[in-house]
Chains A and B, each alone.
Chain A
Amino acid sequence: MPVWHEITRPWVEQEKLVVLGITQEQHPERCRLFAQWKKFDWPILHDPINVLQPLAVPILVAIDEHGVVRSTRPEAETFEAEFLDRTFSPPAGVAEKPAEARLPDLQSLRREALQSRSAVAWRRLGDATVLWAPTEKINDAIDAYMRAVRLAPDDGDAHFRLGVCYRMRYESSQRVATDFQSAVDQWTRAREIEPNQYIWRRRIEQYGPRLIKPYPFYDWVSEATDQIAARGEKPVALRVELSGAEIAHPSRTFVAEGGSVKSPDPTGRILRDTGRLIVAEVAVVPPRIKPGESARVHVTMRPSDAETAHWNNEAEPLRLWIDTPDGWQLQQQLLTAPQGNKPETAEPRHFEFEVRAAANARGPTQLGAYALYYICEEVGGMCLFRRQDIPITVTVDE
């Protein structure tokens, strides 16, 4: 695609051509950073819910001055002669100046959905809501898609878009602890319905284990940021931090780190925090695997807002211990999170690890995981050492 950017630049400058990009990613600022890095100066539209329904990218479509498709596989060598320099005849009955585009009326779409009770109408309301009011009406979009999938359980588009909304809410201040797993579950259902939809598949792979990744996804970000800064520009800031899965390189073998480590609380005597001070969120990607396959587990530990809890950074760091049944493999059994940069901080902390199911594993399998942490009930308040048992279930299908 950068090739097309270079080729088309003079034609755009001569006003012989409009280049219009459409990106299929969830996070707009990541796309903006990419465009800044590559110096794309043409308008780019954002389609996070795959509303245009391409099955994969990239796709190039040459459209003539009357809005008619002339090529879906344009060749750089012949593009000017066969497309740009030709004058095409208008098709019959097509208005040369269509009505100006207007934003959808959400109230009207809602009335239509309520009256028709049709899955398509609810999906359409969800589409309009998430595209044009993603921040303030994300719960309305989720509600609309949930109604759509209740009416049409095999509507893959609605499942995928519902997953996008769950992930959007997970990254917002309206987060519900289960949102990430719900997103992955919906994307998985969508992929089951339409296995040839690679845009949907990529959302799962983006957060999934290295064994199923086709490429790292966002390993370009650090290089882009450095190069943009070296040009004297300010790189677009990413609102959502990259997860480990999004920059990890694919692997064709499961790598378990060697060496023996011991459980830091083998007798289980450390007093428990049952989620009052730290709230644990778990997402398993993909949610179901086959025997011998691997999953990536995301664990996020958030100090409770209600309790004004803070990490105590002057003591030992947060640790996560994972036990698996016989025959299972773990990438790492003991993980440690980085400390904050002040004595007491309240940021969420993330762990990611990969696990491979035993060849004879079947059904839901519980991993024995727990976290150990030093936590203060409030800034300057009582500091405690606590353990939290974290239920992690990996489901193995036949």
Chain B
Amino acid sequence: MIQNASLIAVVCGVGLAAAIASADGYRPQIGRLHPDFTLPKLADGSPVSLSQFRGRKVLLIHFASW
């Protein structure tokens, strides 16, 4: 996770951290754009967005260790 609050104060932008889903939960629709999102990378907390892989095919795997 990012430990430095000042980074957030410096970097301004639209809140992309959240809000891709509807009230029905996560339901990606075949043939529709997958909503973009930005989440922290597990390894170092840096932000990663789905959209930065545009131009590449992506396999998204939602998982837990249990």
Contacts and interface: CB of A to CB of B under 8 A. Distances in A.
Interface residues of A, number: 84
25 contacts: A1-B61, A1-B63, A20-B48, A20-B53, A46-B42, A47-B39, A51-B19, A54-B62, A57-B62, A58-B62, A59-B60, A59-B62, A62-B58, A71-B30, A91-B33, A98-B54, A101-B49, A103-B8, A103-B38, A127-B18, A131-B17, A133-B8, A135-B1, A136-B5, A206-B66
Contact of A53 (B21, B36, B47): B21
Contact of A104 (B17, B36, B57, B63): B17
Interface stretch (A23-31, A271-279, A337-345, A348-356): A23-31
Contact of A69 (B11, B31, B52, B66): B31
A51 B62 CA distance: 12
A306 B58 CA distance: 53
A266 interface: no
B17 A19 contact: no
A64 interface: yes
B63 A21 contact: yes
Interface string A77-108: 00000011000000100101110111111111
Chief secondary structure at chain B's binding surface: loop
B52 A100 contact: yes
Interface of A: 1, 4, 8, 15-25, 28, 30-35, 43-47, 51-55, 57-72, 74, 83-84, 91, 94, 96-98, 100-109, 124, 127-128, 131-137, 197, 199, 202, 206, 215-218, 220
Contacts of B66: 25, 202, 206, 215-218, 220
Contacts of A202: 64, 66
A30 B65 contact: yes
A23 B54 contact: no
Interface residues of B, number: 55
Nearest to A29: B42
Contacts of B20: 51-53
Interface string B19-57: 111000110111111101111111100011111111111
Given A28-B42, A57-B64, A103 B47 contact: yes
A63 B38 contact: no
B1 A72 contact: no
Contacts of B7: 103
Contact of A68 (B33, B51, B52): B33
Contacts of B5: 133, 136-137
Nearest to B56: A18
Contact of B14 (A17, A31, A102, A216): A102
B54 A60 contact: no
B26 A55 contact: yes
A24 B25 CA distance: 14
Given A20-B61, A52-B62, A108-B12, A65 B17 contact: no
Given A23-B42, A68-B31, A61 B60 contact: yes
Given A17-B59, A105-B15, A43 B64 contact: no
A34 B42 CA distance: 12
B54 A101 contact: no
Given A65-B56, A67-B54, A100-B52, 18 more contacts: A20-B61, A21-B61, A23-B42, A24-B62, A44-B43, A51-B18, A51-B39, A63-B57, A69-B30, A69-B33, A101-B48, A124-B19, A127-B17, A131-B18, A131-B40, A133-B8, A137-B5, A217-B66
